[in-house]
């Protein structure tokens, strides 16, 4: 049996919280502290200036990556809360609703 290596988190990658108060919420990685911890923000409840330190094991790394957020972080070291909200909204709108998934659409 082959064991898959966990994917390494990247700046600008969208994640879903699996544990804690914000369980089920989507956020964006705005900082990487080491191979175990990242900083996440959503631009709404959790602003860029006050990111949440989160264990990677408590996050689901989503296949979506926001180049706009990553480029802004690389160029200036900052990102606006509006860009974070936009990236999350764009991802959520691109996902089929739970009702559509149940119906097989």
Q: Does some domain include residue 97?
A: yes
Q: Indicate which CATH number applies to the domain containing 69.
A: 2.30.30.140
Boundaries of domain holding 34: 13-103
Based on the structure, what is the number of domains in the chain?
A: 1
Q: Is the pLDDT of residue 98 over 70?
A: no
With a pLDDT cut of 90, the percent of the chain lying above it is 79
Pairs from 75-84 (Cβ < 8 Å, separation ≥ 24): 78/48, 79/30, 79/48, 80/43, 80/48, 81/41, 81/43, 81/44, 81/47, 81/48, 82/43, 83/43, 84/28, 84/30, 84/41, 84/42, 84/43, 84/44, 84/48
Whether 32 is covered by a domain: the verdict is yes
Span 34-43, mean pLDDT? Answer: 94
| Domain contains 64 | yes
* pTM reported for the whole predicted model: 0.84
């Amino acid at each position: 049996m082959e064991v898959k290596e966990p994917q390494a988190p990247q700046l600008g990658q969208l994640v879903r919280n699996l544990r804690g108060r914000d369980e089920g919420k989507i956020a964006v990685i705005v900082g990487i502290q080491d191979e175990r911890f990242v900083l996440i923000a959503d631009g709404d409840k959790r602003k860029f200036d006050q990111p949440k330190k989160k264990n990677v094991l408590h996050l689901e790394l989503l296949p979506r990556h926001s180049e706009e957020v990553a480029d802004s972080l690389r160029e200036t070291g900052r990102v606006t809360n509006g860009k974070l909200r936009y990236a999350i909204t764009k991802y959520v709108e691109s996902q089929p609703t739970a009702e559509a998934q149940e119906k097989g659409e």
